């Protein structure tokens, strides 16, 4: 995920100069970020253009946003040393972060971006973004199961928030959550005596999976 650093840190590691030299450049107003001359050692983002004495040191980075249909069997990681990671699907896009993870066995919608602030706003629990799933169980759910699921289920020392849970057809249910505990739906179902056969996320807030095939991604404007 993207985060901010002091401009002096960037100068030291990119221009290969000392901390003292970096501070002198800043004090002399020789450093500009996004066209603005700096007067002090400010925090900067990972994307703005940086110039020193008019010389381009870093080009402005384009913000990109992707919808991706994650196939089952892949870890929600872009770290190449991790087995079955997602990096091979995005060979031309560095510095992406994943907004809204799925466990290895699950499939469906992921959102990715190099805009760390946007990613945090989508995936941090405090923002309570709505996430919709289609879940196939090992048998047709009872009314008791649906009522318990909607009200909240005790998992891992805490009770889940009330949520939407409706039957779509036979053993397939629609679930809408505004929280995202680890393997939450699978653990809720297990607690109520059911097993998840298939779990697919089809929506995060207003972004829908729609017609993306498994392993396919498309760029969008947030």
Active site residues: 103
Cα–Cα distance, 32 to 30 (Å, whole number) = 7
Buried b (16+ CB within 10 A) or exposed e, 161-191: eebebeeeeebbbebebeebeebbbbbbbee
The torsion angle over the Cα atoms of residues 100, 66, 105 and 188, rounded to 10 degrees, is 30
Dihedral pair phi/psi, residue 11, rounded to 5°: -65, -45
Question: From the CB of residue 154, how many other CB atoms can be counted at a distance below 10 Å?
Answer: 12
């Amino acid at each position: 995920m993207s985060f901010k650093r002091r401009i002096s840190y960037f100068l030291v590691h990119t221009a290969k100069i000392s901390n003292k030299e970096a501070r002198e450049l800043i004090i002399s107003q020789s450093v500009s970020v996004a066209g603005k001359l700096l007067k002090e050692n400010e925090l900067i983002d990972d994307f703005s253009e940086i110039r020193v004495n008019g010389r381009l040191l870093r080009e402005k980075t384009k913000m990109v946003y992707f919808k991706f249909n994650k196939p089952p069997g892949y870890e929600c990681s872009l770290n190449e040393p991790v087995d079955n990671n997602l990096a091979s699907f995005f060979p031309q896009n560095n510095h992406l972060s994943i907004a809204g993870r799925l466990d290895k066995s699950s499939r469906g919608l992921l959102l990715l971006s190099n805009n760390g602030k946007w990613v945090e706003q989508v995936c941090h629990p405090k923002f309570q973004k709505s996430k919709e799933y289609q879940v196939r169980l090992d048998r047709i759910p009872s009314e008791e199961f649906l009522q318990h699921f909607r009200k909240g289920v005790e998992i891992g020392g805490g009770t889940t928030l009330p949520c939407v849970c409706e039957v779509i057809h036979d053993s397939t249910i629609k679930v809408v959550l505004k929280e995202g505990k680890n393997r939450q739906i699978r653990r809720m179902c297990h607690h109520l005596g059911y097993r998840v056969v298939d779990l697919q996320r089809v929506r995060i807030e207003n972004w829908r999976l729609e017609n993306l095939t498994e392993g396919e991604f498309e760029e969008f404007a947030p």
